[in-house]
């Protein structure tokens, strides 16, 4: 039943996507055909078809319908409920179903906006057409080479051996399934991390679609930017949250002691994030001053292309990664799609360049616009560093057959200095006036934050801090945070004096009055906190590998670790083998940790799972290396203040959410924009 229902949903969605393309093209040619009523049926059909397919897949997983190959090879009767649900996107075929479902949701929401504008909205009509094209490609992948509803026709004792794409083929269901990949059923974040990333990835299709529609229509100006700004912000928030939870998942599951390994697929999520961040900043300049029109089109094209590249790296099997679980014919098709997107988009851009290249000239580099330009340059350089380090090993192997690796030192030596310059730039640029900034004005706005940052560093040196990277990062991060705090204080104080309000009330009003600006300031502070967390945990961290016998103790990072005993327990879907260790500081028991290894019977694989004692001063992180009746070897890590990374990421998401959700006060706005409250002098 689930196979037939899934096939029906996919075919309905495929036909609807084709219909959306045809009707969208007609609306591009003739304004009277660019009506919401003509695209209503294909949009609803696309949404209903993809939702039906996902529900059919979930039903098969929850009902243990092993007659479906995907269920037999990616779930088991012993799989816990949460991981059964998450199995729908834990493997290649199911993840593409999730992709098209999320894209269908975005298409429907864009259609709702198109409907509110009424007939003749050719720009929105063209965007729906482009989204239909992207949907059609991914649906064609699912229907052909990546179909999760194939019927099992030859079963093994566990799992499916052969399958048929015909939904009514005679099935042979195995008695048991393999279950999800052990790495993907070892932590609840598996249920959150991929969907959040997918919403971020796929949400970036919306600005791309509007940009392509504007180019097809030969429309310059800011309308396409105005209509996609909130969509880009939504995608950026979800992408940020997905990357953050991915780092936390890696930290708590993989057991190697880190949160970011510069894995190619980790980089694949970071690259569109960098491009989208650059676009959010440069869009402000075009909306405010009409500048950077051509650059914004290029950024949108590049951002969308990077999401396709990320999907290729994740799901093609071309790289060895914790994220790459299969070799499939989908890889070449994704690569061809990426090439077609780049060629068609850039060709269209070249034909319309005369319409979008003209823009007002920059009055002065010492201005808000100049800071945005430098911001975009630094983000682009960071992007190219990550892109080069990710693709270089693959290109070398492709052309020479040799295997080379690009490790963390490459990315850190090139990327970290750029990150520090970027943080300093956003601190200065966020309070620079538009058009031109005099030295006197900038000194007035920056001297107090600079003094505060220097004072904090002086205190740190007096307390014994000597690491240059910590001091430099603390200086830059403290400066950026102080700039934002000081600017809010000045703005709130002036608003309170002018309207007889309390300063906290006035500060909230100021932030609501220009939510996009202050949301950006909050996100900037989050980036500064992340940088400080990276510097402290990376430079002050300690690691060792300790071997224990029962009852033996060892000192580590000012703590005493005592190995109590080993243990074995049987859970529904796995066998857990671990060590129980007491942690004492100054003789007082502060925690008992249980690093363990989880063995999954269906696959015979063993996954190490660390145990972490997280406190304000830092994390004590234990990872089990080997264990026997007589001894245990444990990798031990101490990460001071690593929680700043998670907090900083949360602050970034909160900043984006503020810019997205905050509304202006009902009363009249302040006479000057909140971020230009100070006199330009």
Question: Token pair for residue 375?
Answer: 């911001």
The C-alpha atoms of residue 637 and residue 619 are separated, in whole angstroms, by 8
Give pLDDT tens digits for 543-592.
999 999 999 999 999 999 999 999 999 888 889 999 999 999 998 999 99
Question: Taking 50 as the threshold, does the pLDDT of residue 668 lie above it?
Answer: no
Both structure tokens of 583: 């942690």
What is the rounded average pLDDT for all residues in the chain?
A: 89
Question: Tens digits of per-residue pLDDT, 274-313?
Answer: 999 999 999 999 988 888 899 999 999 999 999 999 888 8
Tokens representing 498? 């002018």
pLDDT at residue 669 greater than cutoff 50: no
pLDDT digits (tens, 9 = 90+) for 52-79: 999 999 999 999 999 999 999 999 998 9
Tokens 């990376």, residue? 538
Q: Which of 531, 377, 546, 398 is nearest to 469 (CA)?
A: 531
* pLDDT at 42 (0 to 100): 97
pLDDT at 189: 84
Contact indicator for 152, 60 with CB cutoff of 8 Å: no
DSSP 8-state secondary structure symbol assigned to residue 137: H
3-state secondary structure string across 292-360: CHHHHHHHHHHHHHHHHHHHHHHHCCCCCCCCCCCCCCHHHHHHHHHHHHHHHHHHHHHHCHHHHCCCC
Q: In terms of Cα–Cα distance, which of 174, 168, 181 is closest to 69?
A: 174
What pLDDT, in 10s, does the model give residues 343-368?
Answer: 999 999 999 998 887 667 777 788 88
pLDDT at residue number 139: 96
Kindly report, residue by residue over 589-598, the tens digit of the pLDDT: 999 999 999 9
pLDDT above 60 (res 325):
no
Residue 312 CA to residue 272 CA, distance in Å, equals: 13
pLDDT of the residue at 681: 28
Q: Alpha carbon of 576 to those of 57, 230, 249, 490, 624: distances in Å?
A: 30, 46, 19, 57, 12
Nearest Cα to 54, choosing from 110, 106, 102, 112?
Answer: 102
Q: Taking residues 419-441, what's their average pLDDT?
A: 90
Per-residue pLDDT at 396 exceeds 70:
yes
Determine the length of the chain: 681
**pLDDT recorded at residue 666:** 63
Between CA 574 and CA 11 the distance in angstroms is: 38
Rounded mean pLDDT of 621-631? 91
Tens digits of residue pLDDT in 81-107: 999 999 999 888 899 999 999 999 999
Quote the DSSP letter at residue 664: -
Residue 678 has pLDDT above 60, yes or no: no
* pLDDT reading at 317 higher than 80: no
Q: With contact defined as beta carbons under 8 Å apart, do 642 and 625 qualify?
A: no
- Supply the pLDDT for residue 676: 53
Burial letters for 193-232: b for 16+ Cβ neighbours within 10 Å, e otherwise?
bbbbbbbbbbbbbbbbbbbbbbbbbebbebebbebbbebb
CA distances from 82 to 69, 192, 338, 399, 672 (A): 20, 11, 34, 44, 51
pLDDT over 70, % of the chain: 95
Q: Can you tell me the mean pLDDT for 535-539?
A: 93
| Count of alpha carbons within 13 angstroms of residue 261, beta-carbon side | 17
Q: What is the pLDDT of residue 498?
A: 75
pLDDT at 673: 46
Minimum mean pLDDT range among 115-119, 417-421, 675-679: 675-679
**For residue 447, what pLDDT band results from cuts at 50, 70 and 90?**
very high
- pLDDT in the model for residue 47: 97
CA distances from residue 580 to 440, 567, 592 in whole angstroms, order as listed: 62, 7, 7
């Amino acid at each position: 039943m689930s196979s037939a229902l899934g096939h029906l949903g996919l075919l309905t969605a495929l036909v609807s996507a084709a219909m959306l393309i045809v009707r969208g093209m007609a609306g591009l040619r003739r304004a009277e055909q660019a009506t919401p009523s003509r695209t209503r049926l294909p949009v609803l059909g696309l949404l209903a078809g993809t939702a039906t397919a996902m529900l059919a897949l979930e039903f098969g997983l929850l009902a243990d319908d092993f007659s479906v190959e995907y269920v037999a090879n990616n779930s088991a009767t012993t799989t816990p409920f949460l991981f059964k649900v998450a199995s729908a996107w834990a493997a290649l075929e199911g993840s593409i179903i999730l992709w098209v479902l999320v894209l269908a949701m975005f298409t429907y929401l864009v259609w709702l906006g198109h409907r509110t504008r009424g007939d003749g909205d050719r720009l929105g009509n063209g965007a729906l057409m482009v989204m239909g094209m992207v949907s059609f490609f991914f649906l064609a992948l699912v229907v052909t080479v990546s179909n999760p509803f194939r019927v099992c026709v030859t079963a093994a004792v566990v799992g499916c051996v052969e399958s048929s794409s015909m939904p009514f083929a005679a099935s042979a269901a195995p008695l048991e399934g393999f279950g999800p990949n052990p790495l993907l059923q070892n932590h609840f974040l598996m249920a959150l991390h991929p969907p959040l990333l997918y919403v971020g990835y796929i949400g970036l299709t919306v600005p791309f679609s509007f940009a392509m529609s504007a180019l097809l229509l030969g429309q310059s100006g800011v309308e396409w930017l105005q209509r996609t700004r909130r969509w880009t912000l939504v995608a950026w928030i979800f992408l940020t949250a997905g990357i953050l939870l991915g780092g936390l998942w890696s930290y708590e599951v993989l057991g190697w002691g880190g949160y970011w390994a510069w894995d190619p697929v980790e980089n694949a999520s970071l690259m569109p994030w960098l491009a989208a961040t650059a676009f959010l900043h440069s869009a402000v300049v075009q909306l405010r001053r009409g500048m950077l029109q051509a650059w914004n089109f290029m950024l949108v094209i590049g951002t969308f292309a990077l999401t396709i590249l990320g999907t290729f790296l994740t799901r093609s099997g071309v790289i060895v990664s914790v994220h790459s679980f299969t070799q499939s014919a989908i890889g070449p098709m994704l690569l061809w799609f990426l090439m077609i997107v780049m060629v068609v988009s850039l060709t269209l851009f070249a034909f319309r360049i005369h319409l979008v290249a003209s823009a007002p000239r920059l009055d002065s580099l010492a201005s808000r616009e100049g800071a945005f330009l430098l911001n975009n340059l630094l983000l682009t350089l960071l992007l190219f560093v990550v892109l080069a380090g990710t693709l270089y090993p693959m290109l070398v192997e492709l052309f020479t057959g040799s295997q080379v690796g690009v490790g963390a030192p490459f990315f850190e030596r090139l990327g970290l200095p750029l990150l520090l310059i970027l943080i300093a730039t956003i601190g200065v640029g966020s309070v620079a006036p538009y058009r031109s900034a005099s030295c006197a004005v900038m000194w007035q706005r920056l001297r107090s934050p600079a003094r505060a940052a220097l004072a904090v560093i002086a205190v740190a040196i007096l307390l014994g801090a000597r690491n240059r990277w910590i001091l430099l990062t603390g200086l830059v991060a403290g400066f950026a945070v102080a700039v934002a705090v000081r600017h809010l204080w000045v703005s709130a104080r002036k608003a309170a004096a002018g309207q007889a309000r309390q300063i906290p009330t006035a500060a909230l009003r100021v932030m609501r009055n220009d939510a996009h600006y202050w949301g950006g300031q909050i996100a900037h502070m989050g980036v500064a906190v992340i940088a400080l967390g990276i510097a402290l945990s990376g430079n002050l961290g300690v690691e060792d590998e300790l071997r224990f016998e029962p009852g033996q103790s060892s000192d580590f990072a000012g703590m005493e670790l005592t190995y109590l005993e080993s243990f074995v327990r049987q859970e529904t879907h796995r066998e857990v083998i671990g060590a129980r260790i007491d942690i004492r500081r100054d003789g007082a028991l502060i925690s008992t940790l249980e690093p363990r290894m989880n063995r999954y019977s269906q696959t015979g694989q063993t996954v190490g799972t660390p145990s972490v004692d997280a406190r304000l001063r830092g994390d004590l992180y234990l990872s089990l290396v080997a264990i026997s009746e007589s001894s245990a070897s444990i990798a031990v890590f101490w990460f001071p203040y690593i929680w700043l990374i998670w907090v900083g990421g949360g602050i970034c998401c909160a900043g984006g959410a503020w810019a997205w959700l905050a509304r202006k006060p009902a009363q009249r706005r302040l006479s000057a924009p909140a971020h230009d409250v100070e006199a330009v002098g």
